[in-house]
Structure 1
Amino acid sequence: MAKAIGVDIGGTGIKAGIVDLTHGTMASDRVRVPTPEGASPQDVLTAVQTVLQKLEVADSTLPLGVAFPAIVKRGKTLSAANVSKEWLDFDAERFFRDGLQRNIIFVNDADAAGVAEARHGAARDVPGLTLMTTLGTGIGSSFLYNGVLVPNSELGHLNFREYDSVERWAATSARERENLTWVEWAGRLQEFYSHIEFLFSPDLFVVGGGVSKNADDFLPLLELRTPIVPAIHRNNSGIIGAASLAGD
């Protein structure tokens, strides 16, 4: 059984696990530590070292993929919405490769989640354009056309009303911060998904992130022409996708 390690760095937590690449499933328990306050590169690296030790794979030769909430281009992070500004134009892949003393693949977290769902989840064998969104601290997005990733979309940063980023109004963090009911939050999601449906005419929406486990509380409230479904791998999609890309 081919295996790889996936690490998913989020705005509030860093999660990791060993992945069965053949079936796209977790081959270990998932481990998690809180994302360090401020999320500076060195503090995040230390936290990743901690989750690898918890998994007992710190010295493993398995391929390792790291998913991160930023635009990632040729190993560099080009944005820093919910982490330290030190990540702007930062050679993250080299930094982690040197810090962990091993080869890694560094990828946007929503892109990793999209790859997991395209290969092994809700978007598998779906023709045309699948648009995946991850709802959490922010809103991540990934485009998959006939299963092929088009990287580094940032739909959570669309301008909306008085907000510089729609994620500040419609992410899971906004629902929690403002104590919105599911109905109130679904009203915001309706505006977001209707807008991107108009812009891109996708064939399928897939919704991931931790809140996807509560999909029955809000997805049925949305009225869209496009089918919209929860991610099959839920909050493990980033881990599975990062590991899958490392396994490539």
Structure 2
Amino acid sequence: MMDRMQQRGYKIVVKLKMSAKTLPSVTSRNTIAEIKGSTYPEQIVLVSGHLDSWDVGQGAMDDGGGAFVSWQALSLIKQLGLRPKRTIRLVMWTGEEEGAFGGNEYYNRHKKDIANFDMVLESDEGTFTALGMNFQGNHKAMEIMSSIVDLLKPINATALKKGGGGEDITLWMNAGVPGGSLMNANDKYFYFHHTDGDTMTVQDPVAMNLCSAVWAVVAYTVADLEKMLPR
């Protein structure tokens, strides 16, 4: 509306009054669950989303959806009675909105074991209809991931794009750990992001099931490979 007014020649003056404030820090915690690997339990495939949300709406899309599909990925694997060679670990991060506090603290506590982190994934860009994966790794790792997403042909989620990641896993990826994020049909994501519109009514159960399937297939397959992804 303001753009159209400006095009008609109106001079627009905006007065913005904000009541946001930074309160004293308090203790908060990441929530962690895992399926222990059968052969290489010390090696980790990590899936994640963040639990906290902005101060309006319900945080259903940002990032309840990402946290839920990460939880559901482990749940599906367990329900199917599967146990991969490596440990699949879920982390639901705290304090992402304020500055990735949970993600940064986790990295600082575990970076000494970085050689055992096989892949890190975060879903924080919506859980609309799944399309595939955004992934960052070397050429060989990209080839392996291309073969993995081909397994998702039955749900039409075979797209693979170089890039992706998330605020909470940035330090891992910058240090060379292969990582990525869920690719979904999120062209309307910013209709809801950090607004009063980010409520449970945004979430579609069928779309979330498909996102969970992508997360479960990718995490399990990587965790069950004979070797870790190349770096």
User: In which range does the TM-score fall when normalised by the shorter chain?
Assistant: 0.3 to 0.5
Name which one, 1 or 2, has greater alpha-carbon Rg. Answer: 2
Higher relative contact order (CA 8 A, sep 6+): 2
